[in-house]
Structure 1
Amino acid sequence: MFVICIFLLQSGVIKTMAMMAKMRSLAPAFIITVGALFVLFMVISDSNVLEALGGRSNDVGSINGVNISYREYQFVLDQQRETQKQQTGEDIPDDQWDQFREQVWETLVTQKLLEQEIERLGVTVSDEEIKDIILGDNPPEFLKQNFIDSTGTFNRQLYEQALFDPQNTEILIQVEEQVRQQRLTEKLQSLLLASVTVNEDEILRKFKEQNIFATANYAAFPVSMISDSAVVVTEEDMKNYYEENLDRYKINAQRKFRFVLFINQPSAADTSLVLRNLENVKEIVTTDTSDFKSFVEIYSAQPYSLDTVGISAFSTTAIEQIKDANNGDIIGPVQSPGGFALYRLIDVIPSSDKMVRASHILISKKENEQANLDEANRIYDELINGADFNLLAAENSGDPGSAARGGDLGWFGKGAMVKEFDEACFSGNLNEIQKPLKTNFGYHIIKVTGQSDSKYVIEQIVNPVTQSAATRDENYNAASDFSYLAEKNGFDKEAELLGHTISETPPFQENSPSISGLGVNKRLVKFAFENSVNTVSEVFKVQQGFVVVQISESIPEGFREYKEVEMQLKQLAGTQKKFEEAERLAGELSEKTGGDLGKITALDPRILVNNTGRFNYQTSIPNIGKDYGFIDAAFSLEKNQLSEPVRGVKGFYLIHLIEKTKLDSAAYNLQSGTLRNNLLQAKKNAFVNQWLTTLKEKSDIVDNRYMFYAY
């Protein structure tokens, strides 16, 4: 029996009352850990029968040798899934399951590491502390929240009655455990953050950054005004730059993959299933006299709506059917933006928004305008003499998108196209081949294939076409078969035999958050750095589906070769010389004008003198931006002082400080407490994040979840 239960029995205080519902309403909060560091969960014992029989382990991983069982991980996964459903009213979407599992895993890893650190550092919480927290003057907020009355006052009497009710014993045990975990976390944080402090100089600097303003005139010497021909970059300059900035060209160990991707997408069978289902629904709807809305609620993936739409809202097949339909007819199943649909036509009404459907052949490939016009006229003549528009468009049009559809642009309203093209389409006759029309894209031969000035009032039942479990299994099995055969017979050979396309990733590092072309997948990165070149992987789940990879290259840690970055070095060394020239020019003109910025433009018209306006550290200065080199230099000056040449992001500056506000001691004294707290909190957050990152990097974390979750 836990400490409060013992305390209650020893004190002989047993007060029975109808508070069970009140306490049970708190139960979800009791089993969800407060704060981001802990996830409270039951420890469920695992059977080791499979391991005893030589089967696979029941553990999904381990943290510094401490195993995490499949049941333990799955329990937390289910808990967090339920929490998500309670908070959002929706389950985890299929395409977000990988990310969700990863988040839960990271939380669980963090919890285990913190538990180990708590044990290593000897942090404990006594039963007496738990009792004092729960029965103290200021109980935890999550306990108090359901005992606040309409005036916002905490009802202590009801709270204690609920605590002392023996029917609430099990919930109270959960409360005590949660309070214990909270207190352990607080003690660990106190221990870790004891050395984090904020000194007076930091507070004063932050205050000045927010409250001290300045105004200055400046002369800008941007490197952009110096032409490439004005500086000479030698081989020696480039080599010196390379040696002086060698750290820029340091590369960590990298790997590359060749891979075959098995994309998860609906199969023909999945599409046929949706069509068959909608055919059955159509039969029911046609023969049943119930309101169409009731069928939408039962059979549609989208909620009911009564829509008034133009003809462009329908697919080509739907248009062919709906134009000949009568009010009340059921059209479909036909393709729709959401998959396939059944439409019920309520009414056809006139519309002032005329729409047309047109096809075109664009000629824009020739060496000059006259050649394009001659080619357009030649094709026009062929069309007038009976040539097939679709075929000539596919063979000749410079618009590849519409050319693949025989020149078809689909339906569109006024203003959707460039002016000349728009006018030709909306004034042209139906099915007439128009003479070549010139726009800024080239010459167009236009054929208007449809016209509509109607809108359609419809109801619809929409079924999306999604990948079925059977199709996903087939895709996974295809990937698994390829992995086996590729390892046995060769990656390239099997890919060619099976007709698979091989792609390759760019190099990636061990700490890369994602792999180009494959997305975020820590297991893939781990595989790359734990295996040798040419190793073929098992099947990995990625965002697009499944992938089988082969390690194609191992790039050791080192520096990029001089020859590899030679062109880049020429540009960078040139930019450095331009900065040197800008600095020289700024110093020379400052000396010649005796520090009078107003005289500089007369000596060199390229140099502009401007005023900053009022600015501080949080201001973006016009034409300069947030350039802290400029801002630091400006605030270091005294009133009416001129700076030496100051290097900024875009070049060099001469700065003449006009005004700088003084420190308001009263305001500083008023704000310093808040500033201290904000700075301290920011430091603490940064410290904890860095501590956790370092802790994870130094720990032995084994992740074998792939053995249990193929997809």
Structure 2
Amino acid sequence: MMQDLREKTKWIMIVVAVAFVALMVFEWGMDISGGSAGAETGAVGQVDGRSVTYQAYMEVYQNLYQRAQQQEGGQLSQEQIRQIEDMAWEQVVNQALLQRELERRGIRVSNAEILQAARFMPHPELAQNELFQTNGQFDLSKYQQFLSSPAANDELLQQLELYYREVLPQAKLMRQVTAGLYVTDAEMWQSYRDRNETTTVNYVTLDVARLVPGEVTITDAEIRSYYNANRETFRRPATARLTVGHLPKGATAADTTASLERAREVRAEIIGGADFTEIARRESADPGSAAQGGDLGRFGRGQMVPAFEQVAFSVPVGEVSEPVQTPFGFHLIQVQERSEGEVQARHILIPVQRSEEAEDQLYARADSLEQVAERAGVERAARVVGGQVIEGVVASTADHFVPEVGSVLEAVEWARDEMREGTAAGATSPLFETPEAFYVARMEAFSPAGEIPLAEATPQIRRQLTLEKKREQARVIGQQMVAEVRGGKPLQQAASERGLQVQSTGPFTRAGLNPALGQANAAVGSAFGVPIGQVSDVVGTTAGLFIIAPTERTEADRAAFEAQKDQQRGMETMRAQQEHIARWIQSLRNQAEIVDRRAEILQRRI
């Protein structure tokens, strides 16, 4: 083994060195406080008077950009680049604030603490190195043997020391920030109940149009009063009306078949005796679970997409499912444990990806889409390449998602620039790309950002006030229905007399999303709070007005809760810590003086 260690030490050193640089720049923002680098490269901003250097910002930006490119597998759109720029800025600011806190609290680490961490807390990259594993699991004795061997030379040990001098203060700071956090048994029991208790209900949707037909009176004074009270909502972002010709980037039927066959091959390999964990690390495209051997932890109903959930709650424990198709690709699911309303499972995701031939054909069609659109118009271009046309697309800088196309923010900004240059409506854009499609757009109209005048806002306000008045009248009618049912009339009869229907939904949990009633709202609360056989008052949600009549309910198993309580406490505590840290960092940001000069500095460098 020693010979092997000596030969591979240089690669271990490279891994640690790269990770250390990433830590200092990506996690802690090396050179954030300025110094000589600031004089040479300029500052893109300040945090409480400390310069954020161009170099520090660009290091983080490039790291994020490269990761995004790897995930997307190609070129990034302008909107994605803008998001990465903002993420990089958020990270360097946060790390500057954390560094200030380390200094303010005087957090240091001793040599003894570094030695202890190096021996018992291996660098994550080293923990996954095959040299230090036995049967696919990290072997601490192999790692410690390596540290005490000549293969661990001075250069490597120095890099490890620098790594721990950065990591350990961060860990100490986070422990201080989260000290005193404790998740009580009562809180865990409620969380467990939210995920595991189920109810089935009958419900009546109060159809406002049916219950309150015709017009209602809306006065000019009411419209003006609403406008004045909600003036901020009547600010219009830059908005364009477009005709969009798009070419979807989805995989072909042949690509889907190829991915399905690959999933079947992987399943056969596992059934033939291969280790699920190792296969998941090798094959799975799920970035959140692949490194953990596909482990998804525990989850309840409503937390996964329907197709995945159906199999997870039905496949025999221990068996590897047949490939399950979801929007993400094909999954091989293995349930390790299943209790009432909850499973612990792992999976392997085989994505559906375009073949090299299909990729070449797609890009050739995209080129044709742009060329034909410029020459003969958007509609003809879409027909020629086998694409689709969407007319009347209204998109703004605030709301720019279009189904099947994705974000058309680039087209909105193009239209804005065209109008500034005096270009008339009818101009055709260059080719744009999103993760979902290639597209071109024709500008039909453009409105600059600004306040919407009362005259223009009046139709919208009238509709809103009409809806509110009708909802209030429908609520009164609904309460009459409730009184009748509580007086002995069947809910079905009370509903049918008013042209309404009684429907049923469930079983569902408090934590899950119910397609009829929504999630975590008054309707769901009534579904669990109203006794079986009784009806709720009229409850309102963003989806409408409802009367709820629970018909069946399953209680959580207290014994099952107690059996998994320790594991749940760990998960709940980690979640509480993460939420607390996020709030704490936000409070630091709120108190800090943050100056963002990126627009000025970066523009100067173009």
TM (norm. structure 1) is: 0.49
Would the alpha carbon gap of residues 46 and 185 (structure 1) be closer, same or farther in structure 2, given more than 3 Å must change? closer
Q: Which amino acid aligns with 2:157?
A: L
8 A Cα contact 2:204 2:495, kept in partner: no
Could you say which structure has the larger radius of gyration? 1
Q: Aligned in 2, Cα 1:515/1:201: closer, same or farther, shift over 3 Å?
A: farther
Q: 1:178 — aligned with what?
A: 163
Mapped partners of 1:625, 1:306: distance in 2? 40
Q: 3-state SS of the aligned residue for 2:201?
A: strand
Pair 1:120 & 2:14 matched: no
CA contact (8 A) 2:102 2:173 kept: yes
Q: Between 171-180 and 97-106, report the one with greater CA deviation.
A: 97-106
Give the alignment partner of residue 199 of structure 2, picking from 214, 218, 221. 214
Q: Who is 1:365 aligned against?
A: none
Kept in 1, the 8 Å contact 2:133–2:142? The answer is no
Alignment of 1:158-557 (within 5 A): 159-160=144-145, 162-163=147-148, 165=150, 168-229=153-214, 231-235=216-220, 237-238=222-223, 246=229, 248-250=230-232, 337=365, 401=379
Given candidates 8, 24, 29, the residue that maps to 1:22 is 8
Distance 1:584 1:554, change over 3 A: closer
- CA change 1:29–1:57 in 2 (3 A) is closer
1:40-51 to 2 correspondence within 5 Å?
none
Q: How does 1:73-92 map to 2 (within 5 A)?
A: none
Does 2:548 match 1:638? no
What CA distance in whole angstroms lies between the structure 1 residues aligned with 2:72 and 2:553?
Answer: 56
Instruction: Identify if the C-alpha distance between structure 1 residues 37 and 189 changes in structure 2 by more than 3 Å, giving closer, same or farther.
Output: farther
Amino acid across the alignment from 1:591? A
SS of the counterpart of 1:658? strand
Q: 1:642 to 1:190 in 2, by over 3 A?
A: same
Task: Say which of 138, 141, 148 aligns to 2:132.
Answer: 148
Aligned pair in 2 of structure 1 residues 215, 81: CA closer, same or farther (>3 Å)? closer
For the pair 1:38 / 2:27, whether they are aligned, the reply is: yes
8 Å contact kept, 2:33–2:51: no
Q: CA RMSD for the aligned pairs?
A: 5.4
CA distance in 1, matches of 2:232, 2:139: 61
Judged with a 3 Å threshold, the aligned counterparts in structure 2 of structure 1 residues 618 and 219 are, in CA distance, closer, same or farther, namely same
1:202 to 1:694, Cα distance in 2 relative to 1, 3 A: same
Do 2:238 and 2:449's aligned partners in 1 also have CA atoms closer than 8 Å? yes
Task: Say whether 1:653 aligns with 2:525.
Answer: no
Distance 1:688 1:249, change over 3 A: farther
Shift of 1:119: 0.8
Q: 1:223 touches 1:650 (CA, 8 Å); kept in 2? A: no
The gaps in structure 2 that reach 5 residues or longer are 241-354, 369-375, 389-394, 400-406, 418-431, 434-446
Which residue number in structure 1 is paired with residue 322 of structure 2? none
What secondary structure, in the 3-state scheme, does the structure 1 residue paired with 2:183 have? coil
Does residue 700 of the first structure (1) align with residue 594 of the second (2)? yes
Aligned to 2:319: none
Task: Assess if the C-alpha contact under 8 Å between 1:218 and 1:656 holds in 2.
Answer: yes
1:629–1:103 distance in 2 versus 1, CA, 3 Å: closer
Cα 1:230–1:678 change in 2 (3 A) is farther
- Corresponding residue for 1:573? 465
Report what 2:118 is aligned to: 134
Amino acid in structure 2 at the alignment position of 1:686: E
Question: In the superposition, relative to structure 1, how do residues 126 and 631 fare at CA in structure 2: closer, same or farther (>3 Å)?
Answer: same
* Contact 2:65 2:81 (8 Å CA) reproduced: no
Equivalent residue, structure 2, for 1:681: 574
The 1-side partners of 2:358 and 2:600 are apart by 46
- Are the equivalent residues in 2 in contact too, given 1:254–1:507 (CA < 8 A)? no
Question: Which of the two has greater helix per residue?
Answer: 2
Aligned equivalents of 1:615, 1:88: Cα separation in 2 = 34
- Give 1:304 deviation, angstroms: 9.7
**CA distances 1:183-226 after superposition (whole Å, capped 9, x unpaired):** 11111111222254434443233222222222333333221323
Structure 1 residues 600 and 73: CA distance shift in structure 2, 3 A: closer
1:287-323 deviation per Cα after TM superposition (whole angstroms, max 9, x unaligned): xxxxxxxxxxxxxxxx99799x9xxx89xxxxxxxxx
Distance 1:610 1:73, change over 3 A: closer
8 Å CA contact 1:215, 1:614 repeated in 2: yes
State the distance in 1 between where 2:151 and 2:483 align: 89
Using the alignment, how far apart are the partners of 2:77 and 2:12 within structure 1? Answer: 30
1:703 partner letter = R
Cα distance change on mapping 1:197 and 1:42 into 2, 3 Å: same
Q: Distance in 2 between matches of 1:400 and 1:518?
A: 14
Matched, 1:587 2:572: no
